Amino acid sequence: MAFPLSCFSMDLLWRIFSRNRARVNILQVTYMAGRTMSLTLSCPERFSCRAGQYVLLQCLDVSLLEWHPFTVVKIPESSQSDFFIWIRVKGDWTEALERLLLDRGPAGLNVFIDGPFSSPMEGVADCPVAMCVAAGVGITPFVALLRNMLTNPKTHFPGRIHLLWIVRHEEEITWLADLATKTMLRLRDSNRPDRLHIELYVTNTKDNSNARQNEENIHIVTFNEKQGVTHMKREFTEDEKATLLTPNKKRNGYVAKGVNNEGSNVGEYSIAKEYPLLGCRVRRGRPHWDRVFGYWVHLYPQAHLHLYCCGPKKLVKLLRNKCKYISGTTKTKFTFVHEGFS
Ligand SMILES: NC(=O)C1=CN([C@@H]2O[C@H](COP(=O)(O)OP(=O)(O)OC[C@H]3O[C@@H](n4cnc5c(N)ncnc54)[C@H](OP(=O)(O)O)[C@@H]3O)[C@@H](O)[C@H]2O)C=CC1
């Protein structure tokens, strides 16, 4: 007991004294779709950061002890003195921060940052080919990479990025729509359109997926005086079976009318109207992973690929297992890399 406790205390002391803690100002707050905020923060002195790195953020007005990690989505260039982080409002700390920002305004808060810190996601920048899978706000480590591609369309590394992004609501794609469209056009104008492959998946609301799950497992319990309680499983009609087996087509028909957390009707917004270049890359439902991996194996039959993943734990576990399985059964080898802040 004494040994682990002293290790913990030494680690804590080391962290306190080696910290690069600095006070920063919140220069701007932008509210994005899906209850997510983009904070523009002033850079502390000698702050330099690479794509994929993250900082720890403390707001003394919310908590004196808590530090939370956020990936730097826009890294400061030599002439700039600010950087961006994106915060999805989910949980006590982020909700309290959102409330204080609305009540007091950004200037009224005492904010500190520590870092930047290295992250396994930095490896994407050195890959000849990188598979990047992001879910929701897990897109953050890849945003700075896109910016790098936009400013340096002809660099050799990263050579090519396959970016697959899963969001619940189509509006969330707007976080990245401008940047992604500009990057694709810039790469095209530089004769390197092959460097960026984007696939977008919109899964719609939880309410609907629950409803869908319930419909997939209908159990009927009846009470009969002679036999007591009987339990029956309802059989699907042929039409229902077809619907469940074609997730990207017919299922859409009955997932369209949910309500998102901002109260607007899901399915009304269409990214294709504003950003046609992205609109044609949108699919409905969760990715069909066998198809996705099958395509990658087909493209790179004997390669050693890196799959970078940022998203919920269940997705991370699923993809780690898929990488192991595919590496064991085909000539394409996958190394799985992930980063998760919970
Ligand atoms: N730098 C980093 O590494 C960062 C990582 N994160 C991590 O990213 C995660 C994302 O959070 P948040 O934005 O709230 O995500 P959401 O809960 O909004 O989920 C995003 C999307 O992922 C889909 N999804 C979830 N599980 C699976 C699965 N097993 N297979 C396929 N799709 C799946 C969801 O689909 P459905 O609607 O069907 O559930 C949804 O469309 C957090 O867990 C956080 O830890 C966040 C920020 C930065």
Question: What pLDDT digit, counting tens, does each position of 150-198 carry?
Answer: 999 998 889 999 999 999 999 999 999 999 999 999 999 999 999 999 9
291-313: pLDDT as tens digits: 999 999 999 999 999 999 999 99
For residues 278 and 268, give the distance between their C-alpha atoms in angstroms, rounded to a whole number. Answer: 17
341 CA closest ligand 1 atom index: 45
Higher pLDDT, 245 or 290: 290
46-79: pLDDT as tens digits: 888 999 999 999 999 999 989 999 999 999 887 7
On whether the CB atoms of residues 100 and 125 are closer than 8 A, the answer is no
100-130: pLDDT as tens digits: 999 999 998 999 999 899 999 999 999 999 9
Q: How much is the average pLDDT of 228-255?
A: 44
- Position 135 pLDDT exceeds 90: yes
Higher pLDDT, 261 or 178: 178
Residue type, 157: F
Spacing, Cα 86 to ligand 1 middle (Å): 14
Please count the CA atoms within 13 angstroms of the CA of 102 that sit on its side-chain side: 8
The whole-number pLDDT of residue 159 equals: 92
With CA atoms as reference, report the closest residue to 301 among 335, 336, 326, 337. Answer: 326
Higher pLDDT, 13 or 200: 200
Instruction: Decide: 135 in ligand 1 pocket, CB within 6 A.
Output: yes
- Position 218 pLDDT exceeds 90: no
Instruction: Decide: 203 in ligand 1 pocket, CB within 6 A.
Output: yes
The whole-number pLDDT of residue 188 equals: 96
89-99: pLDDT as tens digits: 999 999 999 99
For residues 69 and 318, give the distance between their C-alpha atoms in angstroms, rounded to a whole number. Answer: 24
Candidates 37, 38, 75, 137: which one to mutate for ligand 1, based on the most atoms within 8 Å of Cβ? 137
Spacing, Cα 64 to ligand 1 middle (Å): 28
Exposed/middle/buried for 175, CB within 10 Å: 0-12, 13-18, 19+?
buried
Spacing, Cα 311 to ligand 1 middle (Å): 4
Q: How much is the average pLDDT of 272-298?
A: 95
Before 106, cis peptide (omega within 30)?
no
Instruction: Decide: 170 in ligand 1 pocket, CB within 6 A.
Output: no
Ligand 1 atom 16 nearest Cα: 136
174-189 and 140-151 helices cross at what angle (nearest 10)? 30
Ligand 1 atom 6 nearest Cα: 138
The pLDDT > 90 percentage for the chain reads 66
CA dihedral 181, 185, 191, 192 (to 10 degrees): -10
Candidates 54, 165, 168: which one to mutate for ligand 1, based on the most atoms within 8 Å of Cβ? 168
The whole-number pLDDT of residue 252 equals: 41
Higher pLDDT, 192 or 226: 192
Per-residue pLDDT band for 16 (boundaries 50, 70, 90) equals low
Helix (H) or strand (E) holding 219: strand 219-224
* H, E, C per residue of 234-279: CCCCHHHHHHHHCCCCHHHHCCCCCECCCCCECCCCCHHHHCHHHH
Please count the CA atoms within 13 angstroms of the CA of 78 that sit on its side-chain side: 0
Would you call 91 helix, strand, or coil by DSSP? coil
For residues 83 and 27, give the distance between their C-alpha atoms in angstroms, rounded to a whole number. Answer: 10
Per-residue pLDDT band for 205 (boundaries 50, 70, 90) equals low
- Position 287 pLDDT exceeds 60: yes
Bridge partner list, 246: none
The whole-number pLDDT of residue 247 equals: 44
- Position 211 pLDDT exceeds 70: no
Candidates 308, 341, 342: which one to mutate for ligand 1, based on the most atoms within 8 Å of Cβ? 341
The whole-number pLDDT of residue 342 equals: 64
For residues 75 and 83, give the distance between their C-alpha atoms in angstroms, rounded to a whole number. Answer: 5
137 CA closest ligand 1 atom index: 13
The whole-number pLDDT of residue 81 equals: 87
Instruction: Decide: 323 in ligand 1 pocket, CB within 6 A.
Output: no
For residue 86, which phi and psi values (nearest 5 degrees)?
A: -110, 135
